[in-house]
C-alpha cells in the first residue's frame, strides 16, 4: 500500500494580549473612576462641612450676648467674606470692598438686599465708632438666605 501524503498537525497561534477581554476593560475603568469618585466625594464633604460651620457660626453670632451690635456686624461681614473666599477663587473675592462687595453678595439675589436693604450697614459699620441701631436679626436672616443660595446654586444640597 502506498503512503498517504499527510501533513503534521498545526496548532493555532498563541492567544495574544490584545484585544483585552471585557473584564479587563471594566477593571481598568474602575481603577480610573474610583480615585476620581473619592476625590469628588472628599471635596463634596468639605464643602458641606464649610456650610455647616458657617451656619453654626452665624447662629453663634446671632445668639451672642457678649458683644455689641458693631462687633456682631464685623463678625457677620468677616464670616460672609470667609465663605465667599472658600467657594470662589481668592483673586475674585478677596479684594472686593464697598459697593463692589455688596454687589457680589447681591449677585444671585433679585431684590439686591445687601446694596439697597439691611445689608448696606455691613460696609459702613466696621469703620465707624458709632453705629446706628442695625437690625441684627434681619442681617442674620439675610446671611442665612445668602448661604442657602450659595449652597443650592453650586449643587451642594
Specify if 32 maps to a domain. Answer: no
Instruction: Tally the domains of the chain.
Output: 1
Structural domain boundaries enclosing 54: 48-153
Specify if 80 maps to a domain. Answer: yes
Specify if 15 maps to a domain. Answer: no
Specify if 22 maps to a domain. Answer: no
> Are 61 and 79 spatial neighbours (Cβ–Cβ below 8 Å)?
yes
Specify if 12 maps to a domain. Answer: no
pLDDT averaged over every residue in the chain:
88
Q: Where is pLDDT greater, at 24 or 156? A: 24
Specify if 9 maps to a domain. Answer: no
pTM for the predicted model, two decimal places: 0.74
pLDDT in tens, 50-96: 999 999 999 999 898 888 888 888 899 999 999 999 988 899 998 99
As given in the structure block, the three cell numbers for residue 30 are 474602575
Amino acid at each position: 500500500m502506498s503512503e498517504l501524503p499527510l501533513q503534521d498537525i498545526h496548532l493555532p497561534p498563541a492567544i495574544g494580549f490584545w484585544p483585552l477581554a471585557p473584564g479587563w476593560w471594566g477593571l481598568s475603568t474602575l481603577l480610573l473612576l474610583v480615585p476620581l469618585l473619592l476625590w469628588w466625594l472628599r471635596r463634596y464633604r468639605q464643602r458641606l462641612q464649610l456650610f455647616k460651620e458657617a451656619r453654626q457660626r452665624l447662629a453663634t453670632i446671632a445668639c451672642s450676648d457678649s458683644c455689641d451690635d458693631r462687633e456682631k456686624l464685623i463678625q457677620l461681614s468677616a464670616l460672609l467674606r470667609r465663605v465667599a473666599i472658600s467657594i470662589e477663587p481668592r483673586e475674585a473675592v478677596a479684594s472686593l470692598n464697598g459697593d463692589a462687595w455688596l454687589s457680589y453678595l447681591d449677585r444671585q439675589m433679585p431684590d439686591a438686599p445687601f446694596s439697597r436693604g439691611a445689608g448696606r450697614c455691613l460696609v459702613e459699620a466696621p469703620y465707624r465708632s458709632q453705629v446706628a441701631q442695625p437690625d441684627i436679626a434681619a442681617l442674620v436672616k439675610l446671611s442665612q438666605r445668602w448661604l442657602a443660595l450659595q449652597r443650592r446654586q453650586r449643587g451642594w444640597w
